[in-house]
Amino acid sequence: MMTISIRSAILAGLLLVGGSTGLAGQDAMTIPLERVVLFHSGVGFYEHAGSVRDDTNISMRFNTRDINDLLKSMVVRDLDGGQVDAVRYPSRDPITKTLRTFAIDLTADPSLAELLAQVRGERVEVEMPARISGIILGVETRRKRIGDNEFMDVDILNLLTDNGLQSVALDSVSSIRLLNEALQAELDMALSLLASAHATDKKTVTVQFTGQGERRVRVGYIQESPVWKTSYRLVLAGEETLLQGWAIVENTSEQDWRGVDLTLVSGRPVSFTMDLYEPLYLPRPEVQFELFTSVLPQTYGQDLSRLGQVFADEHAADRMAESQVMPMMAPSPAVGSGQPGTVADIRRRTLKDLSMSRPESMDLRRGVQSVAEGIDAGESFQYRIQAPVNLPRQQSAMLPIVNSEITGEKLAIYNWSVHAKHPLSGLRFTNTTDLHLMQGPITVFDGGVYAGDARIEDIPPGGERLISYAMDLDTEVVRQGKSTPEELRSVRIVKGTLHAERKFLRSQEYVIRNSGRTARTVLIEQPIEAQWTLVKPSEPAEKTRDFYRFAVRAEPGKPAGLLVEEERIDTQHILLTNIDDALIHLYMKATVVSEQVREALGEVVAQRHQIERVAGQRRQYEQEIRGIEQDQARMRQNMAQLDRQSEVYRGYVRKFSEQETQLEKLRREIADLHRQEQDLRQVLDEYLMNLELS
């Protein structure tokens, strides 16, 4: 009961703290949202500006999920001599930590049996077909037969009732009530805490300003926001090309935008989330008391002269054990928060923009006014919307940011891997505006009708890009590949290695047929491969990271052609000791081989033939030895069955003696030939290592 009372008092104290925060919020005022900066990294910078007088609290409401970004990025300024006292918000403990403070622990989602096991010793009232009241002794599991060979586990509640011990199957119980009102209240509060954790409520953040008189204040913070997007319309009308761009923004915040200064930033600052709202508790080591087992009674002999010394030794050992202290674990160093410079740089750049004057509106063009002005901001680019933006919460809007004529040239783009027969209708245009054009889709209108869709990546002012938006059915391209036999260009010998340089040539021929009424430029894309070099044409019209582009003018009804030739130079390295004679003779007949290399190759062939003659003679003698040894093995088998005094046996003995003499001679010849072969090979190796001919 003491434990329950202490926890109840703590909960009551927490409720009182929450109540006082709510009262403070009643006296707090709000300041309007003045500026919004949306980034492509999924965040937005929101800045409130207004005036306060004397000591004032300003309150703002946020979704719980946005509190971490708020704590990481909030910037508060009192501009006219005042100061910021504190930024207060309702705190929260991890729900698992709070649940463990109750007498009944619901942290691990306990079953009914596990829940009843936690309240052993408590009096309960059980509703069955009959009502039973008693003290919980425990919960056990019993096996119950439900068929011939089938069993199931059943949880049994054991109670001490007025009539003695009684067991109740939990599957037959309709309800259980705790008769301890304090314990029942703790269970109710734990369940209420679980229910409140499921709610997606909002939090009130209060900023306390202290000072005298009326003062200007600003509050800015980063908050998760949808990525703003761009889409374009490209109108092709004769020689004029009109580009119209729109920014798509969403207000998913909890407040309306009324007269907001909106800026759209194309940069991608580093942005991350960190849990700063949930309290963190550092795990600490648990140190146990040192306990020592009592010494068993000792018995000793009757040597009274040494009895005193034995007791003295025992007391010394005890003192040594008691003096040992278990070392404590040092606490872990505190972990730093945040990344230096990343978020601060974003805030400094955004706050610096506050001092910029509102740019003037651009001229009306074709009935649509571009309401954005481009501003370079180091590594990013800003579209600053000139007119104040009004956008209710949970609403989206399209804002015109580009509306101007650009320069463009219509053409066809052919890539065999995209379509083997027809090129794509395209446009080469230059960004002649003063704005960075962000990536996005382009809807193309040609002659007042829809022509197709395209897509662009980021384009800086003055940048040039190609787009394709439809298939050009009036133009056909036939592609034919050709290859020529390899060509030996040079042969060198360096330290026993033959270096043969070969040239490979391949070509692609394109035939273009224009069935339209007007001439057109066809841009043919040819893949770039690292080992191949462009030979013809000598230079492409354009070169990207992956393609050559060749421009071909195709007149109506007249075929136009393009021949693209590429070459590859490969060098083959062959050890002359491993090359066969046929390949050597092939190189000797090549016209590109110099006379010195040809003579060296002839000398190599001659020395190799000499080595082969010696090696062939050695192999012949070795074959003779194997034949003699096989004959001797046959004679041994026959001699084992003959009488030693017979004439046949004596004939075998004579033949053995003659063969042994012959074997000895052959072995001497083989050893001599082996030495000759080694000497010749050494001479060839030395000759090869001294060759450097080209």
Tell me the pLDDT tens digit for each residue of 584-604.
888 888 889 899 998 999 999
Calculate mean pLDDT across residues 495-511.
92
State pLDDT tens for residues 172-230.
Answer: 888 898 898 888 888 888 888 777 666 556 778 899 999 999 999 999 999 989 999 99
Given a contact cutoff of 8 angstroms between Cβ atoms, the answer to whether 223 and 70 are in contact is yes
Tell whether the model's pLDDT for residue 105 goes beyond 70. yes
Calculate mean pLDDT across residues 625-633.
91
* Residue 16 pLDDT: 30
Who has greater pLDDT, 450 or 579?
Answer: 450
Tokens of 438: 């962000």
Tell whether the model's pLDDT for residue 432 goes beyond 70. yes
The pLDDT-based confidence of 94 (bands split at 50, 70, 90) is low
Q: CA torsion sign, 528 to 532 to 537 to 543?
A: positive
Q: Check residue 509 and give left, alpha or beta (phi > 0: left; psi -120 to 50: alpha).
A: beta
State pLDDT tens for residues 538-562.
Answer: 999 999 889 999 999 999 999 999 9
The pLDDT-based confidence of 258 (bands split at 50, 70, 90) is very high
The pLDDT-based confidence of 536 (bands split at 50, 70, 90) is very high
Using CA atoms of 330, 334, 335, 339 in order, give the dihedral in degrees to the nearest 10: -150
Given a contact cutoff of 8 angstroms between Cβ atoms, the answer to whether 601 and 608 are in contact is no
The pLDDT-based confidence of 324 (bands split at 50, 70, 90) is very low
Give how far the C-alpha of residue 310 lies from the chain's centroid of Cα atoms, to the nearest Å.
72
* Residue 336 pLDDT: 36
Strands 368-369 and 364-365, how do they pair? Answer: antiparallel
State pLDDT tens for residues 228-243.
Answer: 999 999 999 877 889 9
Calculate mean pLDDT across residues 657-676.
92
Tokens of 266: 């194309």
Tokens of 35: 């500026």
Tell whether the model's pLDDT for residue 299 goes beyond 60. no
User: How far is residue 317's CA from residue 587's CA, in Å, rounded to a whole number?
Assistant: 95
Residues 6+ apart with CB under 8 A from 238: none
The pLDDT-based confidence of 291 (bands split at 50, 70, 90) is low
State pLDDT tens for residues 277-289.
Answer: 777 778 888 887 7
Given a contact cutoff of 8 angstroms between Cβ atoms, the answer to whether 141 and 157 are in contact is no
Grouping H, G, I as helix, E, B as strand and the rest as coil, residue 454 is: strand
Tell whether the model's pLDDT for residue 524 goes beyond 90. yes
Given a contact cutoff of 8 angstroms between Cβ atoms, the answer to whether 548 and 537 are in contact is no
Mean pLDDT of the chain: 81
Who has greater pLDDT, 322 or 627?
Answer: 627
Q: What is the DSSP letter of 616?
A: H
State pLDDT tens for residues 260-278.
Answer: 999 998 767 788 888 887 7
The pLDDT-based confidence of 682 (bands split at 50, 70, 90) is very high
Strands 692-693 and 475-494, how do they pair? Answer: antiparallel
- Counting beta carbons within 10 angstroms of the beta carbon of residue 381, is it exposed (0 to 12), middle (13 to 18) or buried (19 or more)? buried
CA separation (Å) from 407 to 104, 237, 430, 433? 76, 12, 6, 10
Q: How many CA atoms lie within 13 A of 470 on its CB side?
A: 15
Q: What is the DSSP letter of 116?
A: H
What type of residue is 183? L
Q: How much of the chain, in percent, has pLDDT values that exceed 90?
A: 36
* Residue 199 pLDDT: 55
Tell whether the model's pLDDT for residue 29 goes beyond 90. no
Residues 6+ apart with CB under 8 A from 371: 361, 362, 385, 386, 387, 399, 400, 401
State pLDDT tens for residues 151-181.
Answer: 888 888 899 998 889 888 888 888 898 898 8
* Residue 114 pLDDT: 87
Grouping H, G, I as helix, E, B as strand and the rest as coil, residue 565 is: strand
Instruction: Work out the angle at residue 297's Cα, subtended by the Cα atoms of residues 292 and 302, and round it to the nearest 5 degrees.
Output: 140
* Residue 301 pLDDT: 44
Rg of the chain in Å (alpha carbons): 48
User: How far is residue 65's CA from residue 40's CA, in Å, rounded to a whole number?
Assistant: 20
Q: How much of the chain, in percent, has pLDDT values that exceed 70?
A: 81
State pLDDT tens for residues 59-81.
Answer: 888 888 888 888 889 999 999 88
pTM of the model: 0.58
Give how far the C-alpha of residue 537 lies from the chain's centroid of Cα atoms, to the nearest Å.
42
Tokens of 395: 């609403």
User: How far is residue 167's CA from residue 638's CA, in Å, rounded to a whole number?
Assistant: 101
Tokens of 34: 């003045």
The pLDDT-based confidence of 526 (bands split at 50, 70, 90) is very high
* Residue 292 pLDDT: 61
The pLDDT-based confidence of 363 (bands split at 50, 70, 90) is very low
Calculate mean pLDDT across residues 98-108.
79
Residues 6+ apart with CB under 8 A from 564: 507, 508, 509, 510, 526, 534, 536, 537, 548, 550
User: How far is residue 49's CA from residue 36's CA, in Å, rounded to a whole number?
Assistant: 12
* Residue 314 pLDDT: 54
